[in-house]
Structure 1
Amino acid sequence: MEILFNKEGTPLAMTSRFMFGESTGRPENYERKKKQILSPYSLEKVRTLHFRKLEVMAWGRNNKFPETAIETISSTSVLNTGLKFLRALTVGQGVMACRVRGVKDNGDEVLEAVDDPQVRRFVGGRMVRRYLEKASRDYFKVGSAAVEMMVNAAGDIVGLNPLNALFYRYTLPDAYGACKCVVSGDWPNVPGRRDRDPKVLDVLMDYDPGLHVEWMRARGRLRRSFVFPVRDSWSNNDYYGEPVWLPAYILGWVEVAHMVPKFLQKAYKNQITWKWHVQIPYSFWDRKFPPQDFETPKLRTAAIQKYMDEVEENLCGLQNAEKPLFTHYNVNEANGKIEEEWKITALDNKYKGGENLVTSAAANSEILFALMVNPNVFGAGMPGGTYAGNQGGSNIREAFLVNLANAYIDRQNLLDPVNLYLEANGVRDVELRFRNTILTTLDTGAGTQKTLS
C-alpha cells in the first residue's frame, strides 16, 4: 500500500492493488493551523521583529507568508487560474469616469461620461491600469495590497505606485491604530544592509484616509510618500488580510490537487482495478496517532503506514473473502452525532480514468468554491454526484453574472486610492465605474453587451 501524507504526517489518500482510500472531514487542529500559517498572532501573542527602533509585525510563520503563498499558487494550476480569473473579472475592461445624473425606476443609474480630457486620460492611462493589475494581484494572492501615494515637494499627490507584497511589512500599531510601512527588498529577513536602505512610510488610517491626508497637510507632514493599504476585512485582521483561498489550503485540498496527478500517472501505468473505497475521518488520525506522541512527522508516517498495511492485509486477498473487518466509531456527546466512523464501499467497476477516482475533480472544485468561483465558468462541472452541474451556456452566463455582482466590494476597495488621488487633485463629483463585457443569448441579436458597474 502507498499512502499520500501531508507535511504533518496525516494521510490524505491511499492506493493499493485492491483499494482506494481517502481522509474526510476537517482536522481537529484546523484553527491552530490557520493561525500558524497566516496570522501574525500566535497563541494570542503578537510576534514581532525588531528593525531599528520599530516593532514590525511578522507576516505568517517565519515572516514568510507572501513567499509561501506565491510558491503554492504558482505550483497549483487550478488555484493559479482561478485567482487570475478573479483578477481579470474584478478589473474588467478598465475604469470609466462619469457622473450620476439620475436613477431609473428599475434602479439603474443614469450615467454621463466626464468630458475632462485630463481625467479621462488618467483613469484610462497606464498608471491606473498598472495600479489595478498589481494591487489586485496581491489582493487576491495574499489577501492584502498596498499602494505608495507619491508626493512632490509641494505636497501634491502625483502618482500611484503599487508595492509588491514580498517587499513590505507593517509595524505594530499604536493606541490609535496608526502604524508604519517598512519597504525593503530584504524581507522576509530583517533589513540591515546600508546599500539598500529601507523606506519607512506613514500608513493611512482605515477609518477616514482622506481626513488623514488633510491632517498631514495641515501639520506640514505631507512632504513625502505615504501608503494606502488595500485589504478585505473579512479575516478580522486589520493589517495583513486573509486570502480567500486559505481555507482550501488549510484543509488540504491544495495539497491533494498537487499530489493526485501522481496517483493518476501510476494508475494509468499499472492499470489498477480498485475493489474498495475507504473513507477515514481526519479526526481518527489525530486520536489514533497524536502528532505529539511522535518526535518527528516521519516516525508518525511510518506508524500509520504499518497500521494501514495491516488493514489492507485483513481486508484484501482471496483468503480474506469471507473474513469480517471490525471498525470503531465515536459518538459526540455534545450533539449526538457519529464521528470517526470509517466508511468502506465496494466498487463494482474497473478504473476508467475518473469514474472511481473523483478526488482530483473534487479538489479542483473545492478550491474554486473557496474562491467563490462556480466551476461551470471553466466548464469544470462534473457529470454526476456531489459536484454535478449543468455546463450549458445559460449556466455559465449566470455564474459569471453572480461573480460580477459579488465583485462590488473588491472593486470599491481597489478604487479607494484612485478616488483619493482625484479628490486630492481637485477633481470632485466624479464616480468611477468598471466596464464589463456581458455574454448574452442569441435572441438579443448580439453575442455580447457592454455595461458599467
Structure 2
Amino acid sequence: MPWGADNEMPYRILELIESDETLSTCQIFNAEVCYGSGLVYDTSQASAATKSQVQEFLMDNSLASYFLGVCQDFKHFGFCVSIIILSSDGSKVVRILRKEACYCRFAPADKSGRIPYILYANWRKSISSKDEVEKIELLDFHSPWADLQERLKPAKGNKPKSSTRKFAIVSRVPTPDSTYYPIPYYGSLFKGNWYNIKRLIGMAKEAKLKNSAPIKYHIEIANRFWDGIFKAEGITDRKKQMDRVVEEKEKIINFLTGMENSGKVLFSTFYISPDGHEQHDVVINKVETEKEGGDWSTDIIEAVNMMCFTMRVHSNLVGSVPGKSQTNNSGSDKRELYTIAQALQKPYHDLLFTVHHIIIRFNGWEGVHPDCPFIMLSTLDENRDAKLVTPNKTEEE
C-alpha cells in the first residue's frame, strides 16, 4: 500500500521538519523525553539463572539505539516497527531490531482486515526487482502474542506450522481514522498557515539584511568647498584636482572612523543666505545603525510559540523563543514542565512495551518486566541533581 499518492509522503514530511529549526528541535526533544532514562529489563525479582540469560540477551542487542529509534519513529509518524528473530529451533527470541518506519510499507489487508506482511526497502528510489524488497511476516496488530503462538504451534508430526524465524510487530498510536498509515497529530501545522508564515519571516529578514547597505555616515560637500581648496593651493591641472578630491575624502573618512579618532573636532564654514537659511560647505549626518529586521521580532515569537504549541513543547524548555526581553519561567516552573512532559509519555511506553512483554514471556523469564524510568529533576534542598522515578520504585541518580 503506497504511503501517500506517490509513496513519498514520509520523505516530504522529513524534509518539512528538517527545513525548520524550531520544528526539528521540538521533534528530537519529544523523542528524548519519550526515551526518558532508557529502556531497561528489571530483573530485581528474577532468579540468578534468569538474570544471566537476560544479561546475555542485552549484551547481544543494543536496546539504547533500538529504543531511541522507535521513539523517534513514534513522534514522527505515529507508529514503529520492531523485528524479533528467533533461534533456529524456535525456542527463544535472540534478537530485537528496529526497522525505520519511513522505509516500511504495509501489504494490502486480506478479506478479514489482517495485514500479512511488512515490505522494507529504500522507497526513495524506484524499485526495479523484488530482490530489493525485504518481505517480513507481520504478527496480528491486535493480538501479536496469540498469533505468534499459533504460527509456532506444532502441526502433524510435531513440526511447527511455520518455519519462519523472523517476525515484525507494529506498535501504533491509536488515531480517530483507520488508514494504513496514521496521520501524526502535528499534521495540522502544515495544513494551517503558521509553518509558512515563520519561513516567510525568515526569508524577509534575510532579504532585508542582504539588500540594505551598511552606511554609517552621510557626508554632504558643496562644490564651492572644492573650488576654495583648488584656489588656495593653486591647483589648476584637472587630474591633480581629482587626486586632491580623493585625498580630502580619505582624510574625512579617516577622521570619522577608528577608535583613536573619537572625541576629535571638525570645523567647517557656512554662510547665511538672503532668505535666512544656513549654507554649509561640509555637513556630516550620522545614519541610524539599528539592527535590521527588528520590526518582525514580535511576529517571529508568535510563530515560534504556535509551532511549539502544536508540537506540545513549551518554548522555554527548548530555548526556541528569540530575543532578550521575553518572559522566562522560574526554575521551579521549568522543572514542573519537564516532569509533566515525561509523565505524558506513559501511554507511548505502554504501546512500546508490547514487544518486550512478548520477548520476556516467550523466553520464560520469570520475574522480569520492561521499564522506562524517567528523570525527575530535584529541588536544591534535596542536595541532589535528579532522581529516577518508576511506577514501582524511586532511585537516586
| TM-score, L = length of structure 1 | 0.60
Q: Which residue of 2 aligns with 1:240?
A: 181
Q: Which residue of 1 aligns with 2:152?
A: 217
What are the Cα deviations for residues 188-216 of structure 1, in whole angstroms up to 9, with x where unaligned?
Answer: 5663325x342222212222111111111
Q: Which residue of 2 aligns with 1:183?
A: 119
Write 1 or 2 for the structure with the bigger share of helix. Answer: 2
Q: Specify which of 199, 208, 213 is matched with residue 258 of structure 1.
A: 199
Q: Which amino acid aligns with 2:112?
A: Y
Q: How does 1:121-200 map to 2 (within 5 A)?
A: 122=57, 126-155=61-90, 156-187=92-123, 191-193=127-129, 196-200=131-135
Task: Classify the secondary structure of the residue corresponding to 1:70.
Answer: helix
Whether the 8 Å CA contact 1:96–1:120 is kept in 2: the answer is no
Aligned residues: 306
CA shift for structure 1 position 359: 2.9
Q: Which residue of 1 aligns with 2:381?
A: 443
CA shift for structure 1 position 252: 3.2
CA shift for structure 1 position 439: 1.5
What are the Cα deviations for residues 89-111 of structure 1, in whole angstroms up to 9, with x where unaligned?
Answer: 11122223337xxxxxxxxxxx8
Q: Which residue of 1 aligns with 2:263?
A: none
Shifted more, 419-428 versus 80-89: the winner is 419-428
Correspondence 1:397 to 2:330: no
Q: Which residue of 2 aligns with 1:367?
A: 307
Whether the 8 Å CA contact 2:205–2:292 is kept in 1: the answer is no
Distance 1:124 1:87, change over 3 A: farther
Q: Quick one: distance in 2 between partners of 1:125 and 1:238?
A: 36
Q: Specify which of 78, 93, 97 is matched with residue 37 of structure 2.
A: 93
CA shift for structure 1 position 114: 7.5
Write 1 or 2 for the structure with the bigger share of strand. Answer: 1
Q: Quick one: distance in 2 between partners of 1:121 and 1:257?
A: 50
Q: Quick one: distance in 2 between partners of 1:124 and 1:355?
A: 56
Instruction: Identify unmatched segments of 5+ residues in structure 1.
Output: 1-56, 100-110, 272-349
Task: Classify the secondary structure of the residue corresponding to 1:228.
Answer: strand
Instruction: Identify unmatched segments of 5+ residues in structure 2.
Output: 156-160, 213-289, 392-397
What are the Cα deviations for residues 39-95 of structure 1, in whole angstroms up to 9, with x where unaligned?
Answer: xxxxxxxxxxxxxxxxxx111231111111121222211111111111111112222
Q: Which amino acid aligns with 1:229?
A: V
Task: Classify the secondary structure of the residue corresponding to 1:133.
Answer: helix
Distance 1:175 1:428, change over 3 A: farther
Q: How does 1:45-60 map to 2 (within 5 A)?
A: 57-60=1-4
Q: Which residue of 1 aligns with 2:54?
A: 119
Identity of aligned residues (%): 19
What are the Cα deviations for residues 250-285 of structure 1, in whole angstroms up to 9, with x where unaligned?
Answer: 2133333333211122344567xxxxxxxxxxxxxx
Correspondence 1:434 to 2:378: no
Q: Which amino acid aligns with 1:216?
A: R
Task: Classify the secondary structure of the residue corresponding to 2:374.
Answer: strand
CA shift for structure 1 position 173: 1.3
Distance 1:175 1:147, change over 3 A: same
Q: Quick one: distance in 2 between partners of 1:65 and 1:182?
A: 17
Q: Which residue of 2 aligns with 1:64?
A: 8
Distance 1:191 1:269, change over 3 A: closer
Whether the 8 Å CA contact 1:127–1:159 is kept in 2: the answer is no
Q: Quick one: distance in 2 between partners of 1:368 and 1:128?
A: 29
Larger Rg: 2
What are the Cα deviations for residues 109-137 of structure 1, in whole angstroms up to 9, with x where unaligned?
Answer: xx868861332454587432222122222
Q: Which residue of 1 aligns with 2:141?
A: 206
Q: Quick one: distance in 1 between partners of 2:357 and 2:24?
A: 30
Q: Which residue of 2 aligns with 1:295?
A: none
Whether the 8 Å CA contact 1:143–1:243 is kept in 2: the answer is yes
Q: Which residue of 1 aligns with 2:352?
A: 414
Supply the RMSD in Å over aligned alpha carbons: 3.1
Q: Quick one: distance in 1 between partners of 2:318 and 2:197?
A: 20
Task: Classify the secondary structure of the residue corresponding to 2:372.
Answer: strand
CA shift for structure 1 position 151: 2.8
| TM-score, L = length of structure 2 | 0.68
CA shift for structure 1 position 360: 2.1
